[in-house]
């Protein structure tokens, strides 16, 4: 019995449910997620924190899709090298995606995991949704 | 089936190897490489001697640029969305509508549920029936590169066209120069070859230049081929355009969009363990909690509905007798750019739910639009959850079973049918056989009407369900993108099932010969055509083609979102019969019209027929493939059909 109990403690918490934060298309097809606070998270995280996270993500995606000198140069270079440059160089978007992955990892470690939540990188779902996994809170009992 | 849920996305059922799809791309490659090589070997030496060696150099550079863009357009992932996973889909209640409306820059745009990929297609996304994938910013499927053109590779496709036009002009021009200087030596091999190359160049110049011009206009207007050809923004405003210059800049200079498929999925390295921190509750939340205890389910469902339906019209509050949850908010549905139809009640995503035939019929009279689900059935239990949290088993589902009119949301993934009178327990729907014979003629008709899409071609389990199998099978059939595919158009001519369709009009006909919809999805046709007896393969695709004879049919209305049935006939037998008739008529009409479609001009009632760029020499024999290659169908409301002759031999027949 005691053993089972400690084993349960060691195991990762069980998934209770998942929330999906949808894309915000109000500004067109640019990658942007809705900052509206989902109801399921009401008792798990502060609205402010959630909104901040999503807003930061939106800003990062905006940076990735920005039509700047950077992306223009990249395009020119690609053209000139008959696109072989893509074999060795990482595109601007990919660089930002790495940044985003890091940011999500950080957020998970610092903020979300202690709250029993987990953010999943939306790139895994084609940048359509941000998946937030809500873990079962066994220690306190159901809310 | 596991294959369609693969995380890498895009696998679906393994498509049979179709060598015919490689013919155009092989021909294009052969012509491009062959003609250029001949030009470089036979014409260029003289040119470099006579004028300058920069001429061949210039031609080689242009040629390599053309080739590079051609390769990129051919081999690059156009922006395929991976299939959504189960957990994402569960969130959408089976009653969820076939369409979700989103506001893009002040303009209502509809997002349609993709039954294959299991998500609402983002704006500008479309499902390619050739590739069986949803592609971001879908332009068209190009047979010349044997690939979809979408967000990621549109730039290369455009540059390919541009550079190819220039290349053709170069080759033609310099070959002409050669010929002009060799008019007395035309019997030489070199001259003969040069003339041949000139002919090829001249021949391809017109369609290529035409297509290039077409795309220049598209880019300037910020439209995709799909949008142009389906007339989405005709007379309306395009919310996706940012002005000519910005559109061009965006197309050429934006950073290469990432691919979604084939990415390494890093597992979460973070340990999530209780005890968890909790945010401090606000007063309001505390109060809510207190009230909440007794009616946990419904409250949370209401909250969920509020929070998750920001991009859709809010569903009406759940009521026990609420039959048509979608009706109140369907008024907004049609404010979209698709100047398609006056507002019609939206139908629902079909989860293999069941409705009793009576209710279904009543429902059908109210809904002439596509239904994603057979969710006309009301649920006696309170939570009409559009957004149940996933992973939570829905007790209401089981309790609904008692009402004897709902199919299971959870259980019916395989596409159980929408035959009337099902009793649903624990999320599974079980057809009620007693109802079958009575209702099958009408019910199967309507049920198959509504079920155009299912995620899986799960004919197996369906067949085993006996008399209800026809309607189930109809649900199992998928339409790729909710619209008709050319291949499926051809099916009627090939399969007896089309004939059997007319049998379905006879009441009391064996249910197995119940409604068979005219269209099989490509895979259905290919995979199951030989395997199953024709009558057992209704195609829900047809369903949405001919929704009704009495209510004005809109092809859309019938396009069930995948497992749902479109608008069922207005009344049991008579409606059903007329529906059946109209369906067979419709199918037949298409049948007859099919061969002439390449030349274009045959009006197809309530049907949008678009053929893009048939390779000129191969019209009759390869019409099937060519047509199949370019399916851009959208269902339009009934009305006239407008034939639009495009560039390079394109013919668009658009029903307006």
Point out the residue among B72, B88, B258 whose CB comes nearest to the CB of A93: B258
Residue B128 pLDDT more than 90?
Answer: yes
Q: Tell me whether residue B171 is in a domain.
A: yes
How high is the pLDDT of residue B236?
A: 74
> For chain B, how many structural domains are there in total?
1
Is A129 in Cβ contact with B88 (below 8 Å)?
yes
**B277/A115 Cβ within 8 A:** yes
CA distance B364 to B379: 16
Residue A53 C-alpha, separation from nearest chain B C-alpha, in angstroms: 16
Q: In the predicted model, what is the mean pLDDT of residues B483-487? A: 42
- The mean pLDDT value of chain A amounts to 87
Instruction: Tell me which residue in A27, A40, A108 faces B268 most closely, judged by beta carbons.
Output: A108
H-run or E-run covering A18: strand A15-22
Average pLDDT, chain B: 62
Calculate mean pLDDT across residues B627-634.
42
| DSSP H helices in B222-356 | 225-229, 244-253, 283-292, 296-308
Supply the range of the domain harboring residue B51: 20-80+140-253
B33-72: pLDDT as tens digits = 999 999 999 999 999 999 989 999 999 999 999 999 999 9
- Band of residue A126 on the pLDDT scale cut at 50, 70, 90: very high
Q: What is the pLDDT of residue B93?
A: 57
Mutant choice from B255, B262, B273 vs A, greatest count of A C-beta within 10 A: B255
Q: What is the pLDDT of residues B423-455, one digit of tens each?
A: 444 434 344 444 444 444 444 444 443 444 444
* The one catalytic residue among B117, B134, B142, B148: B142
Cα→Cα distances B364→B77, B189, B376, Å? 41, 72, 8
What does the pLDDT average to over A68-94?
91
Pick the residue with more confidence: B374 or B268?
B268
| Whether pLDDT at B306 is above 80 | no
Q: Compare CB distances from B390 to A18, A82, A114 and report the shortest one's residue.
A: A18
- B49-83 in b/e form (b: 16+ CB < 10 A) is eeeeeebbeebeebbebbbbbbbbbbebbbbbbbb
Q: Nearest-CA residue of chain B relative to A83?
A: B68
**SS3 of B180, please?**
helix
Distance of CA B510 to the CA centre of its chain: 32
Q: Where are the domains of chain A?
A: 14-30+45-135
ipTM for the predicted complex comes to 0.90
Task: Please state, as a whole number, how many other Cβ atoms lie within 10 Å of the Cβ of residue B338.
Answer: 22
Query: For a pLDDT cut of 90, what percent of chain B falls above it?
Result: 31
State the pTM of this model. 0.60
- State what percent of residues in chain B have pLDDT above 70: 39
- Evaluate whether residue B355 is within a structural domain: no
Is B127 part of any domain? no
Do the Cβ atoms of B277 and A86 come within 8 Å? no
| CB contact set of B276 (below 8 Å; sequence gap of 6+) | A13, A44, A114, A115, A116, A135, A137, A139, A140
Highest mean pLDDT among B62-66, B233-237, B619-623: B62-66
Residues of B in contact with A20 (CB under 8 A): 88, 91, 308
Are A38 and B308 an interchain contact pair (Cβ–Cβ within 8 Å)? yes
Average pLDDT (A76-100) is 93
Predicted confidence at residue B599, as pLDDT, reads 39
More confident residue, B289 or B319: B289
Q: What is the pLDDT of residue A10?
A: 55
What share of chain A has pLDDT > 90, as a percent?
Answer: 69
Is B142 one of the catalytic residues?
yes
| B627, pLDDT greater than 50 | no
> How far, in Å, CA of A126 to CA of A65, rounded?
15
Instruction: Determine how β-strand B119-120 pairs with β-strand A129-135.
Output: unpaired
């Amino acid at each position: 019995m005691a053993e089972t109990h400690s084993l349960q403690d060691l195991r990762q918490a069980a998934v209770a449910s998942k929330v999906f934060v949808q894309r915000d298309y109000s500004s067109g097809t640019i990658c942007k997620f809705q900052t509206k606070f989902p109801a399921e998270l009401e008792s798990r995280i502060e609205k402010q924190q959630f909104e901040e996270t999503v807003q930061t993500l939106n800003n990062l995606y905006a940076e990735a899709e920005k039509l700047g000198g950077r992306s223009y140069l990249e395009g020119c270079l690609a053209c000139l090298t008959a696109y072989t440059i893509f074999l060795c160089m990482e595109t601007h978007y990919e660089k930002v995606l790495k940044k985003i992955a890091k940011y999500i990892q950080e957020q998970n470690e610092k903020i979300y995991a202690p709250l029993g939540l987990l953010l999943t990188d939306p790139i895994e779902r084609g940048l359509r949704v941000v998946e937030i996994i809500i873990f079962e809170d066994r220690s306190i009992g159901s809310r | 089936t596991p294959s369609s849920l693969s995380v890498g996305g895009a696998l679906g059922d393994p498509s049979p190897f179709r060598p015919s799809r490689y013919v155009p791309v092989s021909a294009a490659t052969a012509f491009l490489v062959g003609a250029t090589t001949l030009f470089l070997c036979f014409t260029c030496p003289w040119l470099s001697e006579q004028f300058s060696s920069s001429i061949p150099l210039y031609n080689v550079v242009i040629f390599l640029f053309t080739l590079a863009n051609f390769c990129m357009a051919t081999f690059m992932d156009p922006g395929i969305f991976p299939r959504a996973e189960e957990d994402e889909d569960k969130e959408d209640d089976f009653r969820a509508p076939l369409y979700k409306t989103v506001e893009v820059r002040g303009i209502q745009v509809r997002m349609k549920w993709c039954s294959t990929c299991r998500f609402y297609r983002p704006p500008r996304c479309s499902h390619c029936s050739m590739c069986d994938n949803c592609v971001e910013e879908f332009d068209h499927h190009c047979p010349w590169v044997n690939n979809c053109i979408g967000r990621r590779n549109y730039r290369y496709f455009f540059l390919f066209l541009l550079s190819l036009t220039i290349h053709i002009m170069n080759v033609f021009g310099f070959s002409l120069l050669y010929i002009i200087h060799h008019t007395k030596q035309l019997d030489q091999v070199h001259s003969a070859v040069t003339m041949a190359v000139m002919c090829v160049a001249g021949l391809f110049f017109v369609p290529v230049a035409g297509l290039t011009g077409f795309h220049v206009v598209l880019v300037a207007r910020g439209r995709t081929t799909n949008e142009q050809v389906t007339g989405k923004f005709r007379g309306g405003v395009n919310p996706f355009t940012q002005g000519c210059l910005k559109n061009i800049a965006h197309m050429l200079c934006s950073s290469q969009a990432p691919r979604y498929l084939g990415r390494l999925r890093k597992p979460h390295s973070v340990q999530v363990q209780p005890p968890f921190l909790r945010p401090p509750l606000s007063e309001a939340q505390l109060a809510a909690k207190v009230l909440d205890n007794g009616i946990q389910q419904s409250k949370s469902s209401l909250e969920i509905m509020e929070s998750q339906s920001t991009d859709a019209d809010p569903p009406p509050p759940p009521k026990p007798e609420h039959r048509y949850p979608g009706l109140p908010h369907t008024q907004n549905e049609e404010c979209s750019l698709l100047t398609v139809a006056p507002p019609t009640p939206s139908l629902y995503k079909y989860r293999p739910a069941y409705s009793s035939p009576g209710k279904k019929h009543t429902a059908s009279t109210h809904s002439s639009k596509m239904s994603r689900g057979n969710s006309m059935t009301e649920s006696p239990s309170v939570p009409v959850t559009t957004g149940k949290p996933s992973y939570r088993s829905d007790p209401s589902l089981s309790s609904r079973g008692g009402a004897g009119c709902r199919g299971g949301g959870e259980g019916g993934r395989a596409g159980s049918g929408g035959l009337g009178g099902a009793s649903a327990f624990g999320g599974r729907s079980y057809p009620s056989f007693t109802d079958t014979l009575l209702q099958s003629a009408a019910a199967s008709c309507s049920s198959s009407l509504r079920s155009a899409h299912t995620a899986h071609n799960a004919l197996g389990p369906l067949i085993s369900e006996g008399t209800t199998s026809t309607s189930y099978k109809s649900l199992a059939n998928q339409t790729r993108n909710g619209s008709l595919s050319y291949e499926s158009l051809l099916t009627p001519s090939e399969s007896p099932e089309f004939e059997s369709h007319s049998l379905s009009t006879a009441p009391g006909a064996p249910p197995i010969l119940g409604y068979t919809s005219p269209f099989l999805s490509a895979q259905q046709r290919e995979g199951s055509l030989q395997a199953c007896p024709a009558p057992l393969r209704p195609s829900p695709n047809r369903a949405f083609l001919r929704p009704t004879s009495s209510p004005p049919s809109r092809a859309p209305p019938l396009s069930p979102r995948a497992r749902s049935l479109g608008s069922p006939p207005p009344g049991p037998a008579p409606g059903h019969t007329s529906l059946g008739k109209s369906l067979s008529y419709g199918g037949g009409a298409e049948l007859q019209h099919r061969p002439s479609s390449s030349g274009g001009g045959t009006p197809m009632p309530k049907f949008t027929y678009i053929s893009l760029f048939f390779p000129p020499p191969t019209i009759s024999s390869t019409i099937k493939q060519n047509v199949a290659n370019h399916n851009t169908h959208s269902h339009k409301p009934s009305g006239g059909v407008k034939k639009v002759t495009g560039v390079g031999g394109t013919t668009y027949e658009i029903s307006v």
